[in-house]
Structure 1
Amino acid sequence: MPTSDAEGKDWSLARYERHLPDTVTDVGPGEGTYARLFRPVHRGAWWTAIEAHKPYVAKYKLKSTKTRARYDEIHVQDAREAPDHLFHRDLVVFGDVLEHMPREDAVELLHRAEAAGAWHLLVSVPIVESPQGAVGGNEYERHVHQWQPDDMDAVLAELGGGVETMRGRTLGVWWWDRRG
């Protein structure tokens, strides 16, 4: 679904406040949960969205001219096909999106973000069985891979750097830092 469980959001916000990134790419923002939560903390940050399902842009007012837009720049495309420069950011958010693609695609996407120069990665995925089909005709909402916390730990360890982890009842959240 284009929404996100509240679990781990306070934990994520605390890390965001600690680092205050100036550039952020939000992969699969859906209704814009992370921009809505983080932007008020650091209004000068430049936010980019990569959203695969074009109807969400208008439905969730991701780019509005009446009020301050949630995103300064929106790319309507599958993140797996996005140019690498969109991942060269202080922070790349993969919030409840990696379960919507095959594991190997998700791993490749994380490696691409690191190789492109991302300083921090925020990853949130369900860590309990959470089957889900298409939602509202959006096939990108289908859950394709069920992540295990230890598996995500290992994937992020491959990138080097340092990782902080929060494991909740339903979600696991990871903050990866290039500097360790």
Structure 2
Amino acid sequence: MPYSSDVFDADIEAFLRTHDAQSYLDLGPGAGKYGRMIRRVNPDALIAAVECDDTYISYFELEGIYDVVARARIETAFDALPDLTADVVLIGDVIEHLKKSEGIDLLNYLIYRCHYCLVVAPQKYVQYSWRERAAEAHRSVWAPRDFEAFGAEVQVRSSTLLATLTGYLADPEAEFGYDFVRPEPLAGLV
């Protein structure tokens, strides 16, 4: 569904207010809740979204919320974007729509390319296709232990989890390759 639980909305907004970020990537924005939240907190930020459903893009007027909206499936959206970076990535009620292996691959890709990644996922919430949209079916189960390998801080509230991953761009122990120059934020999308 294009809507998500609001159980962590206040926590996410507090995170956005306390972390100085200039670029954001919202994966599966649906109705654009996080894009609007970012605009309230940081009106001048560069915000990109990746959405697979054209009808959501037009119906929810996502192009009026985000600086760029890429129409793509998350599973393949980043295959040709080796230099993509963002200060903050939001994956709100989306990762459960991917096969578990695809979700793990996505997190591994993003950990190199962001300062922080916030993942919201339902717990034991059964959902199949919705209004003839196969992409809305849940395809994997996520639990706090799934984020341990990423050193994430995980909270669970009302059958929903919030995992906060610190990406390598914010990790003081991360080492960067020879002649490392951070690419422009959201390179390839904007």
TM-score bucket of the superposed structures, by smaller chain: 0.7 to 0.9
Amino acid at match of 2:70: H
Q: CA deviation at 1:99?
A: 0.2
How far apart in 1 are the matches of 2:163 and 2:99? Answer: 19
Match of 1:112 among 97, 109, 112: 109
Identity in percent: 25
Q: CA RMSD in A?
A: 1.5
So what's the TM-score if we normalise by structure 2?
A: 0.82
Please name the residue that 2:145 is paired with: 150
Shift in CA distance, 45/3, structure 1 to aligned 2, threshold 3 Å: same
d(CA) in 1 for partners of 2:47, 2:31: 14
Which aligned pairs between 1:22-41 and structure 2 lie closer than 5 A? 22-41=22-41
Please, which runs of 5 or more residues in structure 1 have no aligned partner? 64-68, 158-162
Of residues 143, 148, 172, the one that matches 2:161 is 172
CA distance in structure 2 between the aligned counterparts of 1:39 and 1:14, rounded to whole angstroms: 14
4+ runs of 1 displaced by more than 4 Å? none
Query: In 2 relative to 1, CA 2–87 (structure 1 residues): closer, same or farther, beyond 3 Å?
Result: farther
Q: TM-score, normalised by structure 1?
A: 0.87
Gap regions ≥5 residues in structure 2: 172-190
Shift of 1:85: 5.3
Q: CA contact under 8 A between 2:111 and 2:166: conserved in structure 1?
A: no
Q: Secondary structure at the match of 1:99?
A: helix
Deviation of 1:20 (Å): 3.0
SS of structure 2 residue aligned to 1:119: strand
Q: Deviations over 1:46-94 (max 9, x none)?
A: 110100111100111111xxxxx21010100011211335841001111
Q: Which has the larger radius of gyration?
A: 2
SS of match in other structure, 2:62: coil
Aligned residues: 167
Q: Contact 1:92 / 1:120 at 8 angstroms: preserved in 2?
A: yes
Query: Are the equivalent residues in 1 in contact too, given 2:87–2:115 (CA < 8 A)?
Result: yes
Residues in 2 aligned to 1:11 and 1:167: alpha-carbon distance in whole angstroms: 12
